């Protein structure tokens, strides 16, 4: 009777460890998903702002076609992005293009003092900040999750259960944390 | 047999080390709130009477709506962006109600000459970014440029306050006479009961693993400080998504 007790106890304990490890992976993975949703939310929010912004600027500076084209291309790239890194790069391009669009106002005093434009500037800055925050939250969630996936003893069975490392939301090399849109 | 049990226990102890909770590295260290919670005047710009007024009004607002408006002045941002700093501080302090996320942080860094209104998720409709920007343009910046700090903060605070009150359909706030001890006692009682149950289970089944974890967290929390004064307030656990507006002067 006593001889069988120890191996059985061992199996039970290992079973519980496996279960809690798996649950922890699930929780962390869902957290990453949730944070990614938030990133996409904020990207969408900015996308909704852009038409209004473009129209306002065109009202005063329609001839600056180069900037409008750059922005349109960047938006198309974001729409076509499938992976996290593609999204990160497209996001970077949009931020740069928007920065140039806002910079145009420097040459057009009427635009610069237009109340609608000023309000849009604030909204845009706020949205860029939200994207930055959502990105920070997402990367933090990915860090927790990746740490779990790579740590022992979960590393032994994470792959078998379908859990693999997830991508960080990172800007291109040499671009830091996204261009800070300063006004 | 004894040797087997010994080896098994050692194995379990080693395994339990793998369950150490790994926390992500916090990027920015921000100060802890003081006992009033609603005003932290590190840069010494606000007069005592204004400070007390703001605290009392914020307390009254909190009791009626759960919303929290906090004012912080700093000497400098320690090299950080005001946006990142604000988000970190806002979340650390838990400004606003946990469910409603109705917090607002008005923060100024004297040496950096930057000021920001950070708005919690729940109040982004009441105070969109452009409105936050306008409030800073109309009430904060002109007074800061004149060096009228008290006026700057009072007017900005009131502008934010009126928007929050409008959001909740309030015309006025009833004052707060009694101290806050009642508000804080009830939750603590249940927390203690729960803790005792948890600790006894923990001691019986897990050899005190949870107790170990608790002691470590309590040690860290005790440096956050609580005062014996009559006005001990705390954050409601609200969060921000990065909404709001900043200005330089």
Task: Tell me, letter by letter, the H, E, C secondary structure of B151-185.
Answer: HHHHHHHHHHHHHHHHHCCCCCCCCCCCCCHHHHH
Are A140 and B132 in contact (CB < 8 Å)? no
**DSSP secondary structure letter of residue B124:** T
B132/A120 touch (CB, cutoff 8 Å), yes or no: no
What angle in degrees, to the nearest 10, is found between the helix axes of A115-150 and B82-93?
60
On the 0-12 / 13-18 / 19+ scale of CB atoms within 10 A, B175 is exposed
Beta carbons of B130 and A38 less than 8 Å apart = no
Q: Which residue of B has its CA nearest to A126?
A: B243
Closest residue to B245, CB basis, from A122, A143, A152: A122
Q: What is the mean pLDDT of chain A?
A: 87
Alpha-carbon distances, residue A61 vs A28, A49, A55, A120 (angstroms): 48, 18, 10, 16
B150: its two tokens: 């008290």
Residue B245 dihedral angles phi and psi, to the nearest 5° = -150, 150
- Check residue B221 and give its pLDDT: 52
**Greatest distance between any 2 Cα atoms in chain B:** 83
Residue B208 main-chain phi, psi, to 5 deg: 75, 20
CA distance A129 to A32: 20
| DSSP 3-state of B209 | helix
DSSP state of B114: E
Return the closest-CA partner of residue B159 out of B135, B185, B195.
B135
Q: Does B218 touch chain A (CB under 8 A)?
A: no
Judged against a pLDDT cut of 90, whether residue A173 lies above it is answered with no
Considering only residues B92 and A62, tell me which one the structure prediction assigns the higher pLDDT.
B92
Instruction: Determine the residue of chain A that is closest to B26 in CA distance.
Output: A140
pLDDT in the model for residue B92: 94
Cα Rg of chain B (Å, integer): 22
Distance, CA of B1 to CA of A139 (rounded, Å):
49
pTM confidence score: 0.75
How close B204 comes to chain A (CA, Å)?
16
Q: Is B220 on the interface with A (CB under 8 A)?
A: no
For residues A26-51, average pLDDT:
93
Chain B hits for A122, CB-CB cut-off 8 Å, are 129-130, 132-134, 245
Buried b (16+ CB within 10 A) or exposed e, A10-24: eeeeeeebeeebeee
* Mean pLDDT (chain B, rounded): 82
B243: β partners: B119
Residues facing B115 on adjacent strands: B108, B247
Torsion of CA A13, A15, A19, A24, to 10 degrees: 50
The Cα B207–Cα B150 span in angstroms is 56
- At residue A155, the pLDDT reads 85
The average pLDDT across A157-166 equals: 86
Distance from CA of A156 to the nearest CA of B (A): 13
ipTM topping 0.85: no
Structure confidence at residue A174 as a pLDDT band (50, 70, 90): very low
Please check whether residue A90 is in contact with residue A74, taking contact to mean a CB–CB distance below 8 angstroms: yes
Q: Tell me, yes or no, if B81 comes closer than 8 A to chain A by beta carbon.
A: yes
Q: What is the rounded average pLDDT of the residues A47-66? A: 89
CB pairs under 8 A between A and B: 68
Q: Which residue is closest to A127 within chain B, CA to CA?
A: B243
Task: Give the C-alpha distances (Å, rounded to integers) separating A57 from A27, A103, B59.
Answer: 45, 11, 44
Query: pLDDT over 70 for what percent of chain B?
Result: 79
Quote the tokens at residue B122.
């729940």
């Amino acid at each position: 009777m006593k001889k069988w007790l120890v191996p059985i106890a061992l199996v039970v304990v290992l079973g519980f460890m496996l279960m809690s490890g798996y649950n922890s992976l699930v929780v962390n993975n869902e957290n990453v998903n949730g944070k990614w949703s938030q990133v996409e939310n904020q990207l969408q929010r900015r996308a909704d702002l852009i038409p209004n912004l473009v129209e306002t600027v065109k009202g005063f500076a329609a001839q600056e076609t180069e900037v409008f084209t750059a922005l349109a291309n960047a938006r198309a790239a974001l729409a076509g992005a499938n992976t996290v890194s593609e999204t990160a790069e497209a996001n970077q391009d949009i931020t740069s293009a928007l920065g140039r669009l806002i910079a145009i106002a420097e040459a057009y005093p009427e635009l610069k003092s237009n109340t609608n434009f000023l309000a849009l500037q604030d909204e845009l800055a706020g949205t860029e900040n939200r994207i930055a925050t959502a990105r920070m939250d997402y990367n933090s969630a990915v860090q927790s999750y990746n740490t779990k996936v790579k740590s022992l003893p979960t590393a032994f069975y994470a792959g078998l259960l379908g859990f693999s490392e997830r991508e960080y939301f990172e800007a291109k090399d040499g671009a830091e944390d996204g261009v800070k849109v300063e006004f | 047999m004894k040797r087997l049990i010994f080896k098994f226990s050692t194995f379990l102890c080693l395994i339990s080390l793998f369950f150490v909770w790994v926390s992500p590295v916090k990027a920015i260290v921000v100060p802890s709130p003081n006992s009033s919670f609603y005003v932290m005047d590190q840069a010494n710009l606000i007069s005592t009477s204004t400070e007390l007024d703001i605290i009392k009004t914020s307390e009254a607002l909190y009791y009626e709506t759960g919303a929290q408006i906090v004012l912080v002045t700093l000497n400098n941002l320690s090299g950080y962006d005001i946006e990142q700093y604000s988000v970190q501080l806002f979340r650390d302090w838990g400004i606003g109600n946990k469910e409603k996320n109705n917090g607002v942080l008005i923060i100024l860094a004297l040496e950096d000459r930057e000021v920001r209104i950070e708005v919690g998720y729940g109040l982004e409709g009441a105070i969109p970014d452009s409105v936050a920007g306008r409030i800073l343009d109309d009430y904060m910046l002109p007074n800061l440029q004149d060096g009228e700090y008290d006026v700057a903060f009072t007017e900005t605070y009131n502008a934010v306050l009126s928007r929050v009150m409008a959001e909740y359909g309030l015309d006025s706030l009833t004052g707060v006479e009694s101290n806050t001890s009642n508000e804080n006692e009830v939750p603590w009682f249940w927390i203690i009961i729960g803790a005792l149950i948890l600790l006894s289970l923990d001691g019986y089944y897990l050899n005190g693993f949870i107790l170990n974890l608790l002691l470590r967290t309590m040690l860290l929390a005790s440096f956050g400080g609580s005062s014996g004064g009559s006005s001990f307030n705390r954050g409601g656990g609200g969060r921000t998504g990065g909404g709001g507006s900043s200005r330089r002067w």
